[in-house]
């Protein structure tokens, strides 16, 4: 039997290029951040990363990112469902608009969101009389992070929905399942791994977002100041060690959260495989 030949080079050469690329692009820059932080003593490091202003920025950054990712998981799934299951006028336009946050410069997105949600904007002028202020508040941060994270969920879930044949839903209905049972027991288990992946990507993207947030957030210390802005501020003050210290904390927390999400995804895939 003839041995299958891969189009790409052999394993050793491919692995070598992969490790070299990852080292140059990911590992070495991240290692530099950790090395720069060693200029601080342990007490100084702890003082920098636990300052009240920095801790408040952690809470806002990770909290708003989580809320934005959850909203995107819900409404991104709904958007992908509509684009996959229905035909309507302007469908191609709507499908293209989903990718707009990918193509739009983040600063432009921030300015546009601020103009719309400010007290004199189209949407802000409607919401503010009801006591809902979006621009220059933590709510504005959530809006911006939800905006930039939507495509990750839609584009991750959409191909899975396209591969999930409608006959499966019809078979479940013919066996007596109602709409909720069909969704929760037939559709959701098939979509769950992709939905978790989209959630993780949207969450990771939101944590490091800067350009679209600084305009709509207002950047008030202890209120609407995000952690990336803290890092930029320290860099502008030539406090490089302090900036890398905060960056390292964000990096470690982000890694732990993404590791937990990936672990949940692996467990879900394993459970689905075992049930088949």
How many of the other CB atoms lie within 10 Å of CB of 53? 11
State pTM to two decimals. 0.85
Tell me the two tokens of residue 54.
């920095």
- The model's pLDDT over 75-112, given as tens digits with 9 standing for 90+, comes to 999 999 999 888 889 899 999 999 988 888 888 999 99
CB burial of residue 45 (10 Å; 0-12, 13-18, 19+): buried
Query: Residue 158's Cα: distance from chain center in Å?
Result: 17
SS (H, E, C) 136-155: CCHHHHHHHHHHHHHHHHHH
When pLDDT is cut at 50, 70 and 90, the band that residue 276 belongs to is low
Q: Which residues contact 61 (CB under 8 A, 6 or more apart)?
A: 207, 226, 227, 228, 250
Instruction: Give the dihedral sign, CA 83/63/227/229.
Output: positive
Mean pLDDT, rounded, for 247-274: 78
Sorted by where each begins, the domain ranges of the chain are 60-226
Better pLDDT: 6 or 35: 35
SS (H, E, C) 233-271: HHHHCCCHHHHHHHHHHHHHHHHHHHHHHHHHHHHHHHH
Q: How does the average pLDDT of the chain come out, rounded?
A: 86
- The model's pLDDT over 194-209, given as tens digits with 9 standing for 90+, comes to 898 899 889 988 998 8
| Distance separating alpha carbons of residues 45 and 246, to the nearest angstrom | 9
Superfamily for domain range 60-226 = MetI-like (1.10.3720.10)
Give the rounded percent of residues in the chain with a pLDDT score beyond 90. Answer: 43
Number of H helices, E strands in the chain: 15, 0
- The model's pLDDT over 116-132, given as tens digits with 9 standing for 90+, comes to 999 888 999 999 888 89
Give the rounded percent of residues in the chain with a pLDDT score beyond 70. Answer: 92
């Amino acid at each position: 039997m003839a041995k299958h030949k891969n189009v790409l080079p052999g394993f050793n050469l491919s692995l070598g290029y992969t490790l070299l690329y990852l080292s140059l692009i990911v590992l070495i820059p991240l290692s530099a951040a950790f090395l720069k932080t060693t200029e601080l003593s342990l007490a100084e490091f702890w003082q920098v990363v636990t300052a009240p202003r920095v801790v408040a920025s952690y809470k806002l950054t990770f909290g708003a990112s989580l809320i934005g990712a959850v909203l995107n998981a819900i409404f991104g799934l709904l958007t992908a469902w509509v684009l996959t299951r229905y035909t309507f006028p302007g469908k191609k336009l709507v499908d293209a608009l989903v990718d707009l946050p990918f193509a739009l410069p983040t600063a432009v997105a921030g300015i546009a969101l601020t103009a719309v949600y400010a007290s004199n904007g189209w949407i802000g002028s409607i919401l503010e009389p009801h006591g809902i202020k979006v621009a220059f508040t933590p709510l504005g941060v959530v809006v911006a992070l939800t905006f930039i994270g939507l495509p990750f969920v839609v584009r991750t879930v959409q191909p899975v929905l396209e591969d999930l044949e409608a006959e499966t839903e019809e078979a479940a209905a013919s066996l007596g399942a109602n709409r909720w049972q069909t969704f929760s027991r037939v559709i959701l288990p098939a979509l769950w791994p992709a939905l978790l992946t989209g959630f993780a990507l949207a969450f990771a993207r939101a944590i490091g977002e800067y350009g679209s947030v600084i305009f709509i957030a207002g950047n008030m210390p202890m209120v609407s100041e995000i952690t990336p802005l803290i890092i930029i501020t320290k860099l502008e003050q030539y406090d490089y060690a302090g900036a890398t210290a905060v960056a390292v904390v964000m990096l470690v927390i982000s890694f732990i959260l993404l590791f937990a999400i990936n672990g949940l995804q692996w467990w879900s895939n394993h459970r689905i495989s075992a049930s088949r």
